[in-house]
Structure formats: structure tokens, C-alpha cells
Amino acid sequence: MQAALEDFFRALRAADVRVSPAEAIDAHRTVEVVGFANRELFRDALCATLAKSGDEVTRFESVFDTFFDRRSDAVAPAPPPAGAGSDPLEGLPPEAQDSDLARMLLDGDGAALAQAMEAAAERAEVSKIRLSTQRARLTRRLLEEMGLSEIERILAAARRLGGPGEAAADRLEAARKALAAQAAAYVERQHELYAAGSGKMLREEMLARKALNAEGGIDPVDLAMMQALVKRMAKRLADRYSRRRNVAWTGHLDVRRTLRKSMGYGGMPFDIVFKTKKVDKPSIVAICDVSKSVAAAAQFLLTFLYSLNEVVDRLDAFAFSGRLISVNQVLDDHPVETAIFEVLKQIGFQQTDYGRALEDFAEKHLDRIDRHTTVIILGDARTNYANPRLDILATIQQRSRAVIWLNPEPDSYWSQGDSVMNRYERFCHVAKTCNTLEQLERIIEDVLRTYIPR
């Protein structure tokens, strides 16, 4: 039963019910106490152990009923033979006598067939199904593991012989079709248990790697999924970095604190203390280019940052195409998903001018930067051949803790045309291509984890 429970935990995880290793151990101990005899008690005990919210309780009950309901696996018995008490294989070719599957089918032994199907499914690895397109192939593999090829050879031989074997062949053919239907239903149930959400997960994995500045923009359906995906990414990071941490410097002895603790033991260093470094919540200033080629990436960056309220000490957001404005008020008054359109109403459709935007920032907002601030700039650094004002970016670098530039274009484009990214790069602690949600999550996590020391 331990293997069945492990498969059940995997089905729960596929249904988005989180089961940690510690919770799995607790569930095994719970089952040892309550046993399996009372189905209701068994289900309620597991539910109390594993489900942590109302939604998880609903998903748990659905998975439990699907996983432990074996009635759908019962194979319909074959019609009885013509003569009571006669050999069900009578009339079939001699090779049928050596076929266990043929005997089970013509005996109508549903219990034995169900056990054989479970064993064959394990050999065929049906529980590893991930996509709906795998169902037909896995159904055939399951039947092959049960001995379908042998049944087909027996039927072909019986048809060639003809005569009295035709009736037995008809009964075996009917049983074979019933078995095939049941195998398809079994695989469908495994798909429901282990792969119902895999299609969505695969779609999300593809969207996480989708270029944010793709030609033709992002499909509205994909956009909604990507916005939800960004929020989940942010929540995952927030859960991971929501508390301030003291991280030990492995191997770096704190001599002063160790000596102080040893005074109570006559100078013997019984308690060894290692140095630690505090990882504080970062203060972030985000400066986003919202011109047409970068607007989608800017929207996702702002969504990401504004979903990290728990782990960001302070966030100031600015946007520009020609002139630069603060968008904190816009983001406070509108959902992040629609705020970018409100920003575009104010400053959109202007010629991109990085130098003018940096001048606006230096004149009105430079005091928002101090030695605890990480500055994140999102843009393609295409200045339309205007003055890039490198001196202002140098000042920002000197005042801030770190400057991170996220460019949606590949680095091979950074020195082509009107791009001055290769010149801006000198004043950045980090300059990276960021053109997908996957890259964005990785970079933001680096900021939260290390807080980029000077």
C-alpha cells in the first residue's frame, strides 16, 4: 500500500495540492493508525493531514474519489459458454490452452483481469502519462503487456479453421473488444489523475520562454495567462524571501563573540560563533521605457515588482518614452494589468529619448536614490541618436547600491544602429538580456537573494 500512497501523493501534486516530504511522512503515520478498512475514516484522516485550505479540500476529495474508486476498473465478464461446465477454450486452436489472458477473458474472471491490468500498467509505465496525445499509444502498450498480440494470433488461427471454433472465436472477439475499451478507460483515468494539469503547465512553460517583444505582440489569451503566471512567480519569490535573514559565512569565525561566550567557561571556547551577514529588504527604483518595442516587458516588470510588496522595502516606479514621469500614483489607482495603458495615455507615442528621460529623473527624483537602493532600468537603449547623457547614469551608479539594466534585445544588437547599450553598460553593475518571463524571474530572484553588494 505504500507504493499506492506515493502514487496518490503524486496525483495530489498534479492537482495542485502541495504535499511536502514531511506531510507525506505524516500521512503514512496517519494511515498506520486509522487503517484502510473504513473508507470514510481513511479519507477524512488523509484530508486533515494533507489539505491546507478549502480549495485544497475540494481538489483532494476529487482526486481521492478518482484514485481509490476501483469500480471503473472492473472488466465486464464474457458471455457464458454454450455448454454449462464445458471448457471455455473448446473449439479454439491448441495455442489458446497456453494463454492465461484468453482463459481469463472467456472465464469472465473480472478480478483476475483487473489485477493483470494493474500489473501490465505498471510495466507499461502508464502513470507517467503527461499529454492527452499519449493516451492511444499507452493504451496499446498496456494491452500488449497484457498479451493482446497472443489473443490476436489465436483469433486469426480460429478464423482460418472455421467450423465449431467460430462461436468460441466470436466470444473471444467480444471479450477482446471489452478489454480494449476498459484499457482505454483505465488510461483515461490515469491521465485525469496525473496529467490533467500538465497541458496547462506545458503551456505556461512555453509562455515563460516566449519573447516579450515578439512581432505582432502577445495574443490576449496568452497575455492573461502570462499575467497570472507573473503573479505566481512573484508569490513564490515572496514566500521564499519574505523574512530578513542572517546568513552564516561558512568558515569565517567571529573571534570577538566567540571569546565573549567562552568567558563563562573559564576561557574554553565551547560555543563557536561564525560571522553572519544580514540580507535586508531591498529598496528598488524602476525606470521603464514604455515605447512600443518595450511596453510589454515593462508591464510584466511592474507587475512583478508590485507583487513583491512583502519583500521590497520601497518601490518607486518611473516610465518614459520621451519625457519621464512617476507612475506610483497610476499603479496605486489602477490594476497593474491596465496601468500601462494609463501611462501610455500620458507619455506614449513620443520619440524615445533616453538622455531627456535621465535629465528629468536627475532634476526631480535623484534624491530617491541612496546607498540602499537598487536601480532597475528596462529598455533597449536606442536613443534615436540623441545625447545619451552618460554622465547622469554615472551619477546614479555612484549614489546607488547597484544599477541593473534589463535589455529585451540580444547583446549582439547592443552596438548596432542607434543603440548605445555598450556605452551604458560601463555604468551598470549588471547588464543582461531580459526578453522572457523566465529570465525576468531569475534576475529579480538574484536581486532578492543577494541584494547586490557594492
Angle of helix 100-107 relative to helix 110-124, nearest 10 degrees? 140
Say what the pLDDT of residue 313 is.
77
CA angle 215, 216, 219 (to 5 degrees): 120
pLDDT in tens, 397-414: 999 988 999 998 888 889
Residue 281 pLDDT more than 90?
no
Residue pair 440/301 in contact by the 8 Å Cβ criterion: yes
* Mean pLDDT in residue range 237-252: 60
Residue 192 has pLDDT above 70, yes or no: yes
pLDDT of res. 118: 81
pLDDT at 72 (0 to 100): 46
Domain boundaries, the chain: 2-69, 73-196, 227-244+280-450
pLDDT band at 360 (very low <50, low <70, confident <90, very high): very high
Class of domain 227-244+280-450 (CATH, top level): alpha beta
Provide the pLDDT confidence category of residue 454 given band limits of 50, 70 and 90.
Answer: very low
Is a pLDDT exceeding 50 seen at residue 74? no
In the predicted structure, residue 136 carries a pLDDT above the cut 70: yes
Q: What is the pLDDT of residue 279?
A: 55
Confidence of residue 369 (pLDDT cuts 50, 70, 90): very high
pLDDT at position 193 over 60: yes
CA angle 447-452-453, nearest 5°? 155
CB neighbours of residue 388 within 10 Å: 19
Looking at residue 382, what DSSP letter applies? B
pLDDT band at 202 (very low <50, low <70, confident <90, very high): low
Confidence of residue 388 (pLDDT cuts 50, 70, 90): very high
Q: How many percent of the chain have pLDDT more than 70?
A: 84
Q: What is the pLDDT of residue 156?
A: 83
pLDDT per residue as tens digits for the range 304-359: 777 776 667 788 889 888 889 998 888 778 776 677 778 777 876 678 889 999 99
Say what the pLDDT of residue 124 is. 85
Q: How confident is the model at residue 394 (pLDDT cuts 50, 70, 90)?
A: very high
What's residue 276's pLDDT?
A: 67
C-alpha cell at 273: 560563533
* Mean pLDDT for the stretch of residues 225-247: 69
* Mean per-residue pLDDT over the chain, rounded: 80
Per-residue confidence at 420, pLDDT binned at 50, 70, 90? Answer: very high
User: Is pLDDT at 452 greater than 50 in this prediction?
Assistant: no
Model pLDDT, residue 354: 92
State yes or no: pLDDT of 274 exceeds 70: yes
